[in-house]
Chains A and B, each alone.
Chain A
């Protein structure tokens, strides 16, 4: 009798814990308001996390990109990259994001409810390596042009036709004049070019090779222009190792983010910069988007004290020089001229056609810091919210119908004992859900399917026991002994089958990803709960019944 009390106490206790674990509770949800600020709101909901396939959202896998050179210590690099990516994604203001490392060189990102695929990828993937570099004043590119032309000739780069039209329609000498008078989109440096930069107006060697015909002088030292159509060719050309070798040491060529229109032709910018940056994004402590009447959308940044001192020292040395702000090797906007030493604050012009959202994202990325390694997208999955809703409602229907069918089968075949089994089944569902909530497991669609299936499989243990009890009754044993023997004999088979299934599920968990992991967790939770309810709970029900009806001669089974 006391034994029975303990059994009941354990079952009721576990049920209470399970109910408590499943009670709706306050969950902090971070949302971004219309003004772009984040607010934390409390929401009441059942503490079961829905996977992306149910909630809708985006799953992203990023790999270390080794296409531009091998990465020495991938593991350490990905750890640092993980921190950066986490800060950035969390800054997007979406609740319940999951950011984790997978294997040695991959980052997995789950963002529920996000539909803007391109934006999320950009925020996660952008390397955000910020450098401030002084533009070249030594005519280094002009001097290098004959060598570059020679390389182009050797490698047979650039068709004559394309070059011919460029030179014919926009002779380089005239271009500078055009710039100074009109073209206000090329404001920045180009607009200020009129006074000092006359000497760099035309490039030497107009009769030279392909490259020198393509590149025209810009408005500032170290700034050049080329027709937009030539962009792929030039980018490919300057990426060549022999070209880099032909350039003077300590100088680099970078492309610009903006373009300008002169005489109905679109031109892009090219810059020759000092390779050594005066300061990098490491020194940045804060960045926020802003708009200025002069430059449109900008990102205002603040440097650390130490960084500020260095910046001041360096800019003092370079008064009247032009400073290029280079993000991921692209010169942002037009390099401004340094009028006097700059302290800890400054701004980055976003350039044309970039809205406040872009500035917001850039500040986010800059604040989080640069990625230590370039990352490339290995996998993107986007699931619309309607699909998740549909999945849940259909899975619910299927689940209810499955349960009804199983209950009908059990009651029809086993009568009273079937009722005990159904009682056990209810506890089974409760326990399984509680275990899932307790382990903070993610409920995925295959997981839901596995759960519905596991209800069917869970009655197997009951069936085994009941059939065994029937056999024992057939052998003429009393009800009490038959129940005892039935449970005892069925137990080994139940344990053996459960353990082998748990082993399979564990393997699945180890080697599966996302939804399949969810499936494995559901399966394991289900089997443990089913073992407990079939062997322990239903037996307790029997003991309770035996106690009530002392000396029962027959059992409805």
Chain B
């Protein structure tokens, strides 16, 4: 039997101050980056035109062109401030211009057309292919931003409610705080890498939330179980034990998910790259937060609001499982 990290007895919770200090520093660094980007590019986050409104044109050239040539051509066609970026390889470029509040109307539509015509004139029609064009009105962008924020908030609330029902509010609150941490640290990651925030990235963000929550739930599930079994142990001990017990599972699962994400990042289509980055980072931050955020926060909540009725409530719960167990093994035996 091949085993990794079997029967470990690490004290995971002990260095929690250092861990929380490190993550706070990372998040703060992210915010510093946000500020720097705000000053440098005029936008804290590199939001895609889905959110800002505007025009995006993806062009494929037969021969690698000079970026300055594209820039001047596009500038003459009515996009003086367009952002021009290489997309995946040296022959493909995206030309991006934010809406600047004018919205997608006939004029913007016309500009996209003009850019195409200008590029075709400059490089020859057979050498230029418009692979993709997107024109998005400012109003659509506003709605999407609002919906993205609502989606994230609602998913947090729904999760809190579900966990409060399945566990108890202390666990739910700790899990949600850990999730909020993931959100912040992923945002910091987005800022530091200056990845483009598109709808797909928001989807990745929500997947990260779900994934990190999985991790927390699996540890908490163990805590819940061990609390019933060893009632004399302190929560600190139980928490550490649960993390150690679930360690092989965590490592293996993160490994497989990271493998899938990695192959997406390396071999997948260019469009999906920011999504893969976020997921890869999410695996790391999710693992981290389920140990160093959810754990200490649970301890802190426990300390702050100790369960007064633990003896009573916990007692009946233990009794209930005690009753349930024999009957279940009986059914197993019958089978």
Contacts and interface: CB of A to CB of B under 8 A. Distances in A.
Interface in A494-538: 496-497, 499-501, 503-505, 507-508, 510-516, 519-520, 523
Nearest to B213: A500
B92 to A, nearest CB: 10
Interface stretch (A197-205, A227-235, A298-306, A390-398): A390-398
Interface string B219-247: 00110010000000000000000000110
Contacts of B249: 460, 463-464, 467
B284 to A, nearest CB: 15
B264 A511 contact: no
A380 B218 contact: no
B218 A390 contact: no
A557 B6 CA distance: 14
A503 B275 contact: no
B260 A445 contact: no
A470 B256 CA distance: 19
A interface, over-half SS:
helix
B203 A519 contact: yes
Contacts of B2: 412-413, 415
Contacts of A402: 259-260, 263-264
A410 B255 CA distance: 10
A177 B225 CA distance: 101
Contacts of B266: 398
Interface residues of B, number: 79
A464 B213 contact: no
A405 B258 CA distance: 10
A484 B260 CA distance: 30
A479 interface: no
A383 interface: yes
Contact of A384 (B130, B209, B245, B335): B130
A330 to B, nearest CB: 15
Task: Indicate the size class of the contact surface on chain A.
Answer: 35 or more
Interface stretch (B159-167, B183-191, B312-320): B159-167
A430 interface: no
B114 interface: no
Given A464-B218, A507-B154, A386 B260 contact: no
Contacts of A511: 147-148, 150-151, 154
B244 to A, nearest CB: 12
Contact of A493 (B1, B221, B260): B221
Nearest to B255: A409
Interface of A: 3, 53, 61, 63, 103, 117-118, 121, 376-384, 386-387, 390-391, 394-395, 397-399, 401-402, 405-406, 409-410, 412-413, 415, 445-446, 449-450, 452-453, 455-457, 459-460, 463-464, 467, 470-471, 481, 484, 488-489, 492-493, 496-497, 499-501, 503-505, 507-508, 510-516, 519-520, 523, 556-557
Interface of B: 1-3, 58, 60, 103-106, 109, 112-113, 129-137, 139-140, 143-144, 147-148, 150-151, 154-155, 158-159, 162-163, 166, 199-200, 202-203, 206-207, 209-211, 213-214, 217-218, 221-222, 225, 245-246, 248-249, 252-253, 255-261, 263-264, 266-269, 271-272, 275-276, 279, 328, 332, 335
